[in-house]
Structure 1
Amino acid sequence: MADVPLYVISEHTSSERRITPSWTIATLRSKLEPITGVPPSSQKLSLKTAAGNIPIEAADEDGTHLTSFPLAPYAELHVVDVRPAAARVNYNDTSGVEKYVLPEEEYEKKTDSVLAWKKAQKLGRFDPNAPSLEQARIAAHEQEIQRRGIQVGKRCRVGGEDDRRGVIRYVGEVAEIPNSLGAWVGVQLDEPVGKNDGSIGGKRYWGEESQMKHGVFVRPERVEVGDWPVLNDLEDLEEI
């Protein structure tokens, strides 16, 4: 008889395999061990068909052939490991597998790596204009600070939003902000509508620790210096 394609399914594997009907059950078990990792003596086999699950077992497995079972193409052959959980091999645990790390000098020689692609495209540290671009961004922030008259102690509003008024408490670099090249402006807002309490990444730039978030760090172009008084929410209420 011709081989029959079946789906072999176990706890850790699922694959299509061709099964020869002339095999005995014992032969099938031995063939399944390298596929599933389950020893023949610990395998509980069943064939899932339209009529239900049919156990593949016999008193004499060395003399019982698979022709005794309804092997339908693409039926599911389930392999259950009957060993106690502690005795099974955990194939998903890679903690004991030695990791291979490609030496840096070998990686730099490769022509199909991300590093090689960055070199070819002149990106990141391979961009010959990178230093000048960084300096240009730093200079642009400094120019905005001078042009806008940004100084510690001055009143301002942030982002053009009239309800975000406050006092400038810090002007300079903030290393705790990712990609923070250039100057930032730290503003203590009048209302607790900020992002922090004057500290960021564990470093305090002004004030004392507080649960109220009056602080915000923004780029100079978002700060508008002016005589912005503290808003009085009761100002527009009629007298009673």
Structure 2
Amino acid sequence: MSTLNVWVLSADTQSERRIDPHISVEQLKNKLELITGVPVANQAISILNSLEDRTLVVALNDDARPLGYYGLRDWHVLKVEDTNPSTSFTGQLTDVSQTEKFELSEEQYASRTDTVLAYKQRNKVGRFAPKSEADEAPVEDVKIPVGSRCEIESNEPGLSKRGTVRFVGPTQFGTGGGVWVGVEYDEPMGKNDGSVNGVRYFTCLPNYGAFVRPAKVVVGDFPVLDLEDEEEI
């Protein structure tokens, strides 16, 4: 037996290596410093059964012993822990929990001039490209008055989504063209505030707005539901 195939695992690395079982733990630590970035003095090494079964086999607690003394075999895992990560920054390269995220609202994104959206608008690319009359799909005649009360077909049995029609017409989102109906729900059951991809079609509170196809809209006398209207459970 000349060399063994093992896994080396640390806070920042995971790699497959070939190791001579006759070298000492101290010699191993010198090699692992180059692989894991953990200083020799900080290393606490243990053998795990495998990557799938990370049961502890033994800790390498005697630097003078050869690896073969600890029963190291093929596809064991050499787990390297840093006993003083504050001096070597171990784990900090992969820890993003303290990283402040940069986020933009749809309105802020739409107002910027250095985005993909702005580039497409300036250069009339994609959905912003001019369309000839031949390319224009005929707009279907939808008799759903803006401002009318409505109820929306739901995929959940027994769930009623009531609201007010705020928009009827074609949009810049979706595939296949056609007419969409923008609805302001009575409750926060929607997905937007009346705008999609930086384009505003109507205005309502966040999560109160939604766009649905006309076939799912029933217009009628649908008053706002109160708790008293619900059946007792």
Q: Could you say which TM-score interval applies, normalised by the shorter chain?
A: 0.3 to 0.5
- Kindly indicate which of the two structures has a greater share of residues assigned to helix: 1
Larger Rg: 1
Query: Normalization by structure 1: what TM-score?
Result: 0.46
